[in-house]
Structure 1
Amino acid sequence: MTAIKIFISTGEVSGDLQGALLVEALYRQAQLRGLNLDIVALGGEKMANAGATLLGNTTKIGSVGIIESLSFIFPTLKIQQKAKEYLHNESPNIVILIDYMGPNLNIGNYIRKTWPNLPIIWYIAPQEWVWSLGKDKTTKIVNLTDKLLAIFPGEANYFRQQGANVTWVGHPTIDRIKMAPTREEARRILGINSDTLAIALLPASRKQEVKYLMPVIFEAAKIIQEKLPLVHFLIPLSLETYRSPIEEAIKKYQLQATIYPSSSKNSTKNSQEIQESNNLEILAGADLAIAKSGTVNLEIALLNVPQVVIYKVNPITVWIARNILRFSIPFMSPPNLVQMKSIVPELFQENATPENIVSEALELLLNSERRTKTLTDYQEMRQSLGEEGVGDRAAQAILDLVLTRK
């Protein structure tokens, strides 16, 4: 049987994770239908490990912001040229775009001009429905997609109202979180006592975040450590390239902290276990998380760990966004976006100071009413994320569209 050719395009660490979950689901559903798949992708190691053939690694060239993206223009164009050559030479049966608005709009527009009948599915649409930067981007997304697979109820409603063919499948983190251990199991694997006060620090999955977020997060951690001397900080690596700057920051701020997984020269069975399960143990074993904004916020929420979310970019980017683009968002972290209400504290730009982080963190750690309210809101939020089997529902919709076009 001739294999169905699927091309997937995504970027950054979170896109690689969501892409890997989708690739696994596509192979599962294809096996049930007796289909053979040939999946080629722009993504990262997780997608490759799930069975996709990588055309280019896009996990290290992601950014948020106008100024921040400038250094990634040429690497992105180079990888996109590879994608266009693949599309021209291999003629896939369907194209899946995952988030990653700028590069994926470029690929989608190229396909529509060159192969107007090649089906395109956008899975996890860009957060245009939150940013509201005007109808231009929305119209482009709607016009180039045959189907949009939404993960948030608000996302589904927004794009449906704009004329897109939308199916709400639920959030894929629901599936991923099933792999997480209990707090007790996580602490056993981490090698920390059940009564240790543990705070997870998640400063960066992008290069810009190492520059703008890590210093304020680590300064806040230093202050917390002065107030709570027995605290221990858990730091999961999103990319190995960040190990050295994080190690230097730990030393600079004199933190009682452990990086997971440990370096290869000090590798242990426990660190290997943590690596294989994608760091869910670190989150599950924490009493609190101080994190960058991103998909990880939803993982933390589903593990019932209170968190403080921070977000900082280049000041020039902020000035342009506020004064020229009139950029305004109600919330930035997924837990708050699910129901469009404040569930976790968000500290943006000038408000993302060490002092504010410490204030919010101590409140969540020491104020039982505030902590209970957060956990109650998490449970309410969970009800709006859909049922388990998100990846399989998305895979079924993709294969259904392929088979109707063959």
Structure 2
Amino acid sequence: MASSDNRSVAIVAGEVSGDLLASRLLSGLAPRLPGVRFHGIGGEHMAAQGFVSDWPLDKLTVRGLFEIIPRYREIKGIQNALRDQLIAERPAVFIGADYPGFNLGLEQQLKSAGIPTVHYIGPQIWAWRGGRIKKIIKAVSHMLVIFPFEEEIYRKAGVPVTYVGHPLAEMIPLQPDEAAARRALGLPEDANVVTLMPGSRTGELKYNTVAFVSACKLLLARDRSLRFVAPMAGEKQRQYFLQLVQEAGLQDVEILLTDGGSHTAICAADAVLVASGTASLEVALYKKPMVIAYKMMRASWEIMRHMGYQPWIGLPNILARDYLVPELLQNAASPEALAEAVWQQLSDIPGRLRLVQRFTDMHQSLLRDSARESANAVMQVIAANKK
């Protein structure tokens, strides 16, 4: 079988979170591979590290079991085209940055063709789809994981694995400067601030926005001094958010919309209403009280709710193995329930202090030099393939 070409490394990130993860890996890997071409599919953070994207990142960004159907043919076509390109090119290694639905299938085909594969980060088989481990064994030469407890899971399954720490734990300070964040947003330092994070994907905005903003209206009935902030991932998301708010007749709720700047918006908050996902971990690393909520297409929910292997879906609760913060899902995420849960987070001062300590301990457990650790693991995979 032909050997791999050490002049190229291929990487695929399918959404913004994967772009961030891969950019961190690239910052450690690129200096160790001078002259190597890094390409595949990625976003602006990867491009800042010299990465060349063969397809736009947003060609892959979609979430949900049924929501993907209208895009399936296009996405499958990209996967097939990239597979053929890489089998002909034979890069030194292929790295799948999260996005397991796309990347694991591609990795399985590339590994069968003799191209080593690294997956970063480990799919959450401990949360939803334990059966996926069989596919991972066939697809992945080496797994990079970002939570300490994952290492043992993959090792027991026979998958070579390295715990590299969570990049967000390095990016977010152990002691965030709330006052500076409020100044940056033009908010009074003594204001009561609630940050809304209904999601960055169109589907997330569609199902979460109205419930989140309706909860704000109810909260204002309790305290007219409350201030609301909502970071928008882009102009498209901003316009869709505003459209949904107007269609629901909620335009009288004053919300400060920011262009990006999600970390500043979190840091400025007294409490955060956040869609389940990586954003909830960001909130925990900023040591903020939160309410985790999520709504989706009913058909997707009916399937997903039977796939859980543990009682929590929010990353802070999963890491703590406890309900540190409330989780309100699907029908339970009514405006009334969301408003009540956020009000409790704002009002429970002793509880907020306990959360700060728990989230600080969590932050320290996730700290590693992820750029160095992930780059070391990838270099070992490349070296082993040369033997």
TM-score, with structure 1 as normaliser: 0.87
Alignment correspondent of 1:25: 28
Question: Larger deviation: 220-229 or 43-52?
Answer: 43-52
> In the alignment, residue 255 of structure 1 is paired with which amino acid?
V
1:203 and 2:218 correspond? no
Distance in 2 (CA, whole Å) between partners of 1:112 and 1:3 is: 16
Structure 1 residue 304: Cα displacement: 1.2
Aligned equivalent of 1:12: 15
- In structure 2, the partner of 1:155 is 150
Q: Which amino acid aligns with 2:26?
A: V
Secondary structure of 2:137's counterpart equals: helix
Cα distance change of structure 1 residues 203 and 246 upon mapping to structure 2, 3 Å threshold: same
**Residue matched to 1:82:** 81
RMSD: 2.2
Match of 1:390 in 2: 370
Q: Deviations over 1:36-94 (max 9, x none)?
A: 33111312222223321012223464344321221231231132133224303422100
Can you list the C-alpha shifts for 1:305-335, whole angstroms capped at 9, x where unaligned? Answer: 111111112111222345xx65444221221
Q: Does 1:307 align with 2:290?
A: yes
Q: Which amino acid aligns with 1:403?
A: A
CA distance in 2, matches of 1:213, 1:74: 27
CA distance in 2, matches of 1:349, 1:221: 18
**SS of aligned partner of 2:127:** helix
Aligned length: 379
After the TM superposition, which residues 236-247 of structure 1 pair with which residues of structure 2 at under 5 Å, given as runs? 236-247=231-242
How far apart in 2 are the matches of 1:178 and 1:321? 34
Structure 2: distance between partners of 1:59 and 1:339: 33
User: Could you say what secondary structure the match of 2:230 adopts?
Assistant: strand
- Output the CA distance in 2 between the equivalents of 1:381 and 1:180: 13
The 8 Å contact of residues 277 and 314 in structure 2, kept in 1 or not, is answered as: yes
After TM superposition, the structure 1 stretch with the greater mean CA deviation from structure 2, 71-80 or 199-208, is: 71-80
- The question of 1:317 aligning with 2:320 is answered no
Contact kept? 1:25, 1:392, Cα under 8 Å: yes
Counterpart check, 1:349 vs 2:358: no
**Which AA in structure 2 matches 1:357?**
L
- Give, as a single letter, the amino acid of the residue that structure 2 aligns with 1:345: P
2:258 counterpart residue number: 260
Deviation at 1:181, TM superposition (A): 5.7
1:87-131 CA distance string (max 9 Å, x none): 034221001112211111220122133x22x11111111111221
Matched, 1:372 2:353: yes
Gaps of 5+ in 2: none
Point out the more displaced range, 100-109 or 74-83: 74-83
Distance 1:35 1:180, change over 3 A: farther
Deviation at 1:144, TM superposition (A): 2.1
Give 1:165 deviation, angstroms.
0.9
In the alignment, structure 1 residue 120 sits paired with structure 2 residue 117: yes
1:82–1:259 distance in 2 versus 1, CA, 3 Å: farther
- In 1, distance between residues paired with 2:24 and 2:106? 22
Deviations 1:258-278 (A, max 9, x none): 1112xxxxxxxxxxxxx5xx5
The answer to whether the aligner puts 1:338 opposite 2:319 as a matched pair is yes
1:51 aligns with 2:50: yes
Match of 2:243 in 1: 248
Task: Name the CA distance, whole Å, in 2 between partners of 1:50 and 1:199.
Answer: 34
SS in 2 for 1:210: helix
Distance 2:30 2:110 in 1: 25
Paired letter, 1:9 = V
TM-score by length of 2: 0.91
C-alpha distance in 2, partners of 1:47/1:326?
33
| Native 8 Å contact 1:125 1:148 kept in 2 | yes
Which blocks of at least 5 consecutive residues in structure 1 are unaligned? 262-274
* Whole-Å separation in 2 of the counterparts to 1:122 and 1:311: 27
Taking structure 1 as reference, are residues 161 and 146 closer, same or farther at Cα in structure 2, changes over 3 Å only? same
Percent sequence identity is 29
Report whether the alignment pairs 1:362 with 2:346. no
The correspondence of residues 145-224 of structure 1 with structure 2, limited to 5 A, is 145-178=140-173, 182-224=177-219
Per-residue displacement from partner, 1:200-254 (whole Å, max 9, x unpaired)? Answer: 1111222211111111111111111222211121111123311112223455312
Q: In the alignment, residue 75 of structure 1 is paired with which amino acid?
A: E
Q: Distance in 1 between matches of 2:167 and 2:189?
A: 30
How many angstroms apart in 1 are the aligned matches of 2:127 and 2:324? 17
Give the C-alpha shift of residue 299 in structure 1.
1.2
Q: 1: CA distance between counterparts of 2:332 and 2:91?
A: 47
Kept in 1: contact 2:200–2:233 (CA 8 A): yes
Alignment of 1:61-72 (within 5 A): 61-72=60-71
How many angstroms does 1:25 deviate by? Answer: 2.5
Residue of structure 2 in register with 1:400 after alignment: 380
Query: Matched residues in 2 for 1:327 and 1:304: separation?
Result: 26
CA contact (8 A) 2:280 2:315 kept: yes
Distance of 2:267 and 2:130 partners within structure 1: 39
> Does the CA contact (< 8 Å) of 2:12 and 2:40 recur in 1?
yes
Distance 1:3 1:184, change over 3 A: farther
Structure 2 distance, partners of 1:144, 1:260, is 40
Which whole-Å CA distance do the structure 1 matches of 2:78 and 2:47 have between them? 16
> Residue 265 of structure 1 aligns with which residue?
none
